[in-house]
Amino acid sequence: MAVYTEVSDQELEEFLAGYDLGAPLSCKGIAEGVENSNFMLGTERGTYFLTLYEKRVAPADLPFFLGLMEHLAARGIPCATPIRDKSGKALNQLAGRPAAIISFVAGMWHKRPTATHCAALGQAAARMHQAASDFTLRRPNALSVQGWRPLLEASAPRAHEVQAGLTDDLQTELAFLEANWPGKLPQGVIHADLFNDNVLFLQDRISGLIDFYFACNDALAYDIAICLNAWCFEADRSFNITKARAMLTAYQRERTLTMEEREALPLLARGSALRFLLTRLYDWLHTPADALVRRKDPLEYLHKLRFHRGVRDIGAYGIE
């Protein structure tokens, strides 16, 4: 989450007049993430998230995102959901941007998740994949392997500013993944951004999944590869096999990975690492200096990528 677009008091009051939420009491920007402008909104009726969708989010994709949240919530998945206005619309305009009010989900995300948290995530991810199996809207993954080369080309001239020789390393890796990316794995709706700051807990129980603005149709196992990278590395960049085992075991209690998915997981984890390395690199080099946003270190994912290059089979992730 972040703040790129400011909202005046008058704009906010006029916007809220269309909802049955009472008058605004507070509206504070949230300085996390990189995609949209986000605020913690307090009204006479309660606390909510207010999101203004910035230029990197295509307006045509918003019905998919908002509809998916409602679909999952209706099937028992704990997640944030859009608040509809007095006319029944979930999406409106504020400060020249598409905007939505999203329900507040109580809970905290864990900066240093334990194996117990990883197991809870694995179970939740599998249940989410199953709950979304009958969601009728579709959205291709614009940040799958086909979308990585434009990202690299946009950052390549300045990648040396982050680390010497980085461009050549990334060019070699991308060429390998483009030639070997698996194309016939079980498909479905994935979250595609299940980092620990998008999973809220009350004690050791997941209270809510949030931030579905990368959700799309893709290989289900690719979602798990993203989670391995986001949850199973320590601050010293070492891989925690205990956390990986807990996550994958819990996932498979709900949905068993096919043999093809198991064989592809190391390659998917490499691809996931490259995808987040490239988007972080782009943001590191291109985020406006005055944006209220916390940039994330792209080199964190270079270390993860190098780890997965050395993985030969799923046993390195803790399961047979």
Are 86 and 176 within one domain? no
Torsion of CA 15, 35, 208, 72, to 10 degrees: 80
**CATH number of 239's domain:** 3.90.1200.10
Are 123 and 253 within one domain? yes
Window from 17-26, 51-60, 253-262 with minimum mean pLDDT: 51-60
Are 160 and 94 within one domain? no
How many structural domains compose the chain?
A: 2
Window from 1-5, 203-207, 257-261, 308-312 with minimum mean pLDDT: 1-5
pTM of the model: 0.92
User: Distance between CA 280 and CA 162 in Å, rounded?
Assistant: 11
Q: Is 110 inside any structural domain?
A: no
In sign, the C-alpha dihedral spanning 112, 115, 121, 124 is negative
Are 208 and 292 within one domain? yes
Are 153 and 72 within one domain? no
Are 50 and 86 within one domain? yes
Q: What percent of the chain lies above the pLDDT cut of 90?
A: 88
The pLDDT mean for the chain works out to 94
Are 53 and 199 within one domain? no
- For the cut 50, the answer to whether the pLDDT of residue 1 exceeds it is no
What's the confidence (pLDDT) of residue 275? Answer: 98
User: Distance between CA 59 and CA 239 in Å, rounded?
Assistant: 38
How big is the CA angle at 110 (ends 107 and 112), to the nearest 5 degrees?
170
Q: Domain of 36?
A: 9-103
**What tens digit of pLDDT does each residue of 139-190 get?**
999 999 999 999 999 999 999 999 999 999 999 999 999 999 998 999 999 9
User: Distance between CA 211 and CA 132 in Å, rounded?
Assistant: 16
What's the confidence (pLDDT) of residue 35? Answer: 73
**CATH number of 43's domain:** 3.30.200.20
Are 29 and 91 within one domain? yes
